[in-house]
């Protein structure tokens, strides 16, 4: 019991990273199917990050501009979001879900689009 009391923050962090890794693998496996359904592949990194490297077929809308571009993202298509590590894309997923997008997937790092 003392171990849990002393190390719960590290255990929680390990569980969080484990979940992010598992979820990204799940979305990577779904990606071919999502593409056949007309998925929008959205990279929410900054313009400079996107210019330095990006996956073919992805569209760049920086996270801080996402709210201004919601009208250009169809709600009828699946949306797959990615960024540098999965954190900003996780926030983008929340923004999209809050605005009525039903099928939103966080692929984590943008390089996962190329898997």
Q: Specify the pLDDT at position 20.
A: 81
Name the pTM for this structure.
0.87
Cβ neighbours of residue 86 under 8 Å, at least 6 residues apart? 20, 24, 106, 107, 108, 109
Question: What are the tens digits of pLDDT across the range 98-107?
Answer: 999 999 999 9
Question: What are the tens digits of pLDDT across the range 9-67?
Answer: 888 888 878 878 888 899 999 999 999 999 999 999 999 999 999 999 999 999 999 99
């Amino acid at each position: 019991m003392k171990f849990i009391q002393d190390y719960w923050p590290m255990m929680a962090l390990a569980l969080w990273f484990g979940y992010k890794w598992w979820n990204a693998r799940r979305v990577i496996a779904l990606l071919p199917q999502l593409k056949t359904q007309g998925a929008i592949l959205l990279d929410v990194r900054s313009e400079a990050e996107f210019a330095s490297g990006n996956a073919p077929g992805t569209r760049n809308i920086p996270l801080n501009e996402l709210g201004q571009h919601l009208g250009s993202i169809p709600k009828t298509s699946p949306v797959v979001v990615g960024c540098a590590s999965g954190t900003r894309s996780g926030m983008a997923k929340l923004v999209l879900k809050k605005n009525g997008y039903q099928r939103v997937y966080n692929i984590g790092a943008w390089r996962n689009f190329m898997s």
